[in-house]
Amino acid sequence: MRKQIDKETLRRQIIRYFSFRTIQGRNVLLTASYLLILITFTILVVYQNKLVSDVGDRVIQTRNPITVMTSRINAGLDRVSAAQRGYFLTKDDSYKDERNSLWDTDILPALEKLEELGKQLTSQDRRSIDALGILLKEYKHGQDDLELYFEQHITDFAAIQEDVEELDSLTLRLKLESFKKKTEVDEYIVDYLLNNISPLKAEIREYLGPLSQQQQKAMLDDVKRINEDIDSANSSIAFVTAFFAILAIGSSLLVIRTLNTSLQKPIDQLDRLSVGDLGESIDETTDEMNDIILSSNKLRDNLDRASAFALDIGEGNFEANFNPASEHDMLGNALVQMRSRLKDVADEDEKRNWITKGMAHFGDILRQNSDIKELSNSIISELVGYLSANQGELYFMEETDEGEHFLNLEATYAFERKRIIEKKIHIDGRFAEGLLGQSYLLGETIYLNDVPQGYTDITSGLGDATPRAVLIVPLKINDEVEGVLEIASFKEIEKFEVEFVEKVAESIASTLRTAKNNERTKTLLLSSQEQRDHLRSQEEEMRQNYEELQATQEEMERRQKELETLRNNLQEQVKERTTELEKTLERFDLALQGTTEGIWDAALINGELNNDTQFWWSSRFEELLGYEEGELENSLETFISNIHPLNRDKTLKVFNSLIADHLGIAQNAIDVELRMKDGTYRWFHISGAVKHDEDGKATRFAGAINDISSTKELEHSQKLLSIREANLKAFLDVTHDYVLAIDQKMVVTLVNNAMKEALKSRGLQIVEGETVILDMVRPENRDRYHTNIRKALDGNIFTDEMVIQVGTSKQIMDTRYYPIYAEDGSIVGATVMFHDITDTKNRESELEESRRQLKAIFDTYDAEVYMKDLDGKYIMADQTYIQSIDVDFDIIGKTDVEIFGPEKGEEIWEIDEAISEQETEISFIDSREDGTKYKCVKFPMVNSAGKIYAICSIASKLEFEGSMDSGVEKVPVPIIYRDSNNPSHIVKNGGSWKNFFGEDTTLDRYVSSKDQLRYEVAMNNISTAIANGKSYFETYTLTLDNNDRILVLEKGNSVERTYDDQNVVVSAMINITPLRPNHG
């Protein structure tokens, strides 16, 4: 049978997965359709990608490497040329090593790679690559020959770029003579470069250009094909995407319709249940919604049972049977709990009614019987019966004529005769017999629920047995005991029954005392009748006794009224406590609404905190964590999971320690991070308290959470501030500058160690927060300090130069003043920083003296010599140069514009500025207005660190005309400013531009058709060099208006500068036609 059920279940599961009538079946069939279409589309895309990959491999393996290698060779040629020029200019072996390294590691390996790739090209391309290899080797051989010539013929003269401050007059004369020898070597090198090296370089590029262009064209064709394949793949993707979208929409509508149909029945039933209409159970279905229908029917049955149970309770049937659906059934558990509480209330009411009824009954008995014997028997028999006990005894206190006291058995119920005859208990001062005597002496109730064997027996016709409980109650009124009452029973006597017997005993004692008083009164009346005549004199005394008797009677009536009043008071107290409880609950609700803390409460099961513990949160608790009211699940797991993982173990340890502690010494608070609804964490202070029962077991655990994130952030900020203060103090303590801070009253608030040590040498000690800054300075400087500090406190930042006394020496200080701002923008103080510039000032004085001595040396030469700094200001000029410009003022510190005017001054400075930017020397012939000619040499001055700091110019008069014909006319040269973003565009021209090109601003009309290609190649190379930040040396031919063709060498270092809000680079155009007269 079991196997048949399993097979049937398996069959239904298979039908559910593959039947189109079920939601799962539809989803499985639709998913299978999607996968089939997706696999077909994937195969198509993979095929197209394979085609694209083949073309891409061809581009990567052949086209692109050839283009890269040609570019690498082309760039390598520029770099080896630049390295060789650097070697010729500086004689620095690093340039020579760089050139050899470029050939070995860059150009020649690129050529080998190009030859290897050429095997895949046409025969014509392979021949071009072979010819290119021959030319490259010739080019390298030519560079090697030129370098060998340079090393063999260059004279060993010192670099003119050395700091002239270190040269004496004789050395300077030798250096000027060395320029003539160097010029001859320079002329040969330039001629060799132009006639041998440059043509080879141009021919190499004629081979590299077409080869690179052919590969770029082929690569563009391959890229075009790749793009076509990609477009085809995109079309396929678009078609499949549209198809999938239509299919997804259709399947979604089908699933939605099915879900709506299947969900309608359970929705209708839940709607009825929500308004209290249980109705009938709904029919089951065959799809997945059947589980929901079953759960809905089960909910309806549970509500039906709960409703029937609530009706039973309403009718007073507290014994009705009801089992909650589960331990999480809140409604069922609440009903069971309500039944228990109502049952307890009913039991308490029954007990109060029983006591009230009993007091009224025994009050009637006490009022109706005046005979003590009858009263005693009636009370004991009624009391035993009312308590459902088995035996009872009533003892009254008696006194003999001899003054002996004893408890006399006045009445019994269900005792044997022997006990009645013999029962008399003697009382002797502080001693008495048995438990009855002790109860009398102590005036306290004695209750035994474990009666010893033989203490007493309850006898019937069938036998006797020891009772289970014995109750002994003294008959006490106004702290005086009138007798003892003893009750024996086979059942336990409840606590409320004991209290009832005590109240009855008190009434019996009152009645007994009244009866005794009455008996005594009666005896006195009889005695007075017999001795009326004898005691007539005591009539007054008898009258007093009568008044006492009347007072006693009034006391009985008063006690009766007190009993009535007591009952009424008890009822009123119950009503008042109920009202007070309601007010307490109302105050608790208001406190919850008014507090900023989140309250939580948990009822502990078996004194432990576990996953079964149910929690209650206040609305403020959930609000603090970002939840809506009722959104947070009431469980320990929810509480713990919202605690940061690093705080959970510690928090649980605190909770468990607090629950286990019933001495009040455990930690009851902790700061933790709680997770908010949005996933972030905030700091909270959690405090709790635990209630324990009489056995020390925890029964309730409650507490509160308070958001302390702002406090934690403040602590973190204070910690960061402390770190910053420590870092600032560490910085101030290690710096050699003097630093101090003052407040608005000029009191020093901070001073570093360097300043403290310096002031110690003057016998001054600074106390932060007490010392006033003006007390630290000398009297003659106080006004100046006061003015400067007040200026800083007004919000100004400035510097001042001051001399201060430190020990036995004076120091020149660069003093800087800064205001200190508070967070609100107000100025709260100022900072003063002293930087020692004594050595700098001394070096400036020494430098000025060196310049004066150097000028005196140059004044002995018959040459015009001057030096300018990098801003164009004269820093030295000899007497010969000053006489030649014929000015009557000191030119030191002035610029050419200030001396010669804007037009001539800017022309001179353009040449000198180009020298500093190009970092090279130039020489030219300067023809003066009087017909004399001067050989001018201009070069940058380099310090010991290799940095240019000035430009030097030396002009010597030419004594012979023949000296003009030797060398290349390099300067004055045209200076042009090219746009760094579009180098073909000339932004500005200068220098000797007008001597060649007049007022034209471009070179386009000076480039003939046969020179156009060479000019364009030069422009492309210049553009590439500027884009890469490299130096460039390019030659091209221009045809002037007089039809003279000149060969121009354009050189620059790609250093950007700003002119008229544009980024430009400066180039020098050098006419090298004399070096190659047959260039055309």
Please report, for the chain, the start and end positions of each structural domain, with discontinuous segments joined by +. 23-227, 348-529, 595-714, 735-836, 973-1080
Half-sphere exposure of 833 (CA within 13 A, CB side): 14
Assign 275 a pLDDT band (cuts: 50, 70, 90). low
Tell me which H or E stretch contains 725.
Answer: helix 709-734
Q: Which CATH code of 3.40.1160.10, 3.90.550.10, 3.90.1150.10, 3.30.450.20 fits the domain covering 973-1080?
A: 3.30.450.20
Tell me which H or E stretch contains 22.
Answer: none
Determine the CATH number of domain 595-714. Answer: 3.30.450.20
Q: Is 1032 exposed, middle or buried (0-12, 13-18, 19+ CB in 10 A)?
A: buried
Measured distance CA(663)–CA(684) in Å, rounded: 26
Of the listed ranges 26-30, 160-164, 516-520, 791-795, the least confidently predicted one is 160-164
pLDDT tens for 1018-1043 read 999 999 988 888 878 788 899 988 88
**pLDDT at position 535:** 61
Q: Which CATH code of 3.40.50.12280, 3.30.450.40, 3.90.1640.30, 3.10.105.10 fits the domain covering 348-529?
A: 3.30.450.40
pTM for the structure as a whole: 0.29
Collapsed DSSP state (helix, strand, coil) of residue 752: coil
pLDDT tens for 633-680 read 888 888 888 899 988 888 888 888 888 877 777 888 889 999 998 989
Same fold, 23-227 and 595-714: no
- 258-272, 428-442, 961-975, range with greatest mean pLDDT: 428-442
Average predicted confidence (pLDDT) for the chain: 76
Half-sphere exposure of 803 (CA within 13 A, CB side): 5
Tell me which H or E stretch contains 278.
Answer: none
Assign 107 a pLDDT band (cuts: 50, 70, 90). confident
Strand ranges (DSSP E) for 156-230? none
Tell me which H or E stretch contains 82.
Answer: helix 64-90
Of the listed ranges 534-543, 684-693, 733-742, 830-839, the least confidently predicted one is 534-543
**pLDDT at position 265:** 66
**pLDDT at position 161:** 40
Tell which residue, 834, 838, 784, has the closest CA to residue 809: 838
Q: Which two tokens stand for residue 549?
A: 């008797």
pLDDT tens for 79-104 read 888 777 777 777 777 877 888 888 88
**pLDDT at position 460:** 62
Measured distance CA(470)–CA(450) in Å, rounded: 8
Q: Which two tokens stand for residue 353?
A: 């009614």
**pLDDT at position 908:** 82
Fold of 23-227: Four Helix Bundle (Hemerythrin (Met), subunit A) (1.20.120)
Tell whether the model's pLDDT for residue 966 goes beyond 70. Answer: no
Pick the more confident residue, 318 or 962: 318
Tell which residue, 226, 143, 146, has the closest CA to residue 189: 146
Q: Which two tokens stand for residue 373?
A: 């014997």
- 66-75, 159-168, 450-459, 669-678, range with greatest mean pLDDT: 669-678
Is residue 1052 within 8 A of residue 961, CB to CB? The reply is: no
Measured distance CA(764)–CA(362) in Å, rounded: 105
Measured distance CA(862)–CA(128) in Å, rounded: 60
β-pair partners for 1058: 1063
Measured distance CA(68)–CA(293) in Å, rounded: 74
Assign 157 a pLDDT band (cuts: 50, 70, 90). very low
Pick the more confident residue, 17 or 1022: 1022
Residues 6+ apart with CB under 8 A from 325: 298, 302, 332
**pLDDT at position 819:** 92
- The amino acid that residue 133 corresponds to is G
Is residue 429 within 8 A of residue 408, CB to CB? The reply is: no
CATH class, 735-836 region = alpha beta
CB burial string 126-145: b at 16+ within 10 A, e below: eebbeebbebbeebbebbee
Measured distance CA(303)–CA(295) in Å, rounded: 12
Measured distance CA(169)–CA(175) in Å, rounded: 10
Measured distance CA(998)–CA(871) in Å, rounded: 29
- Token pair 């590299």 is at which residue? 208
Tell which residue, 205, 219, 357, has the closest CA to residue 365: 357
Torsion angle (degrees, nearest 10) of CA 991, 993, 995, 998: -140
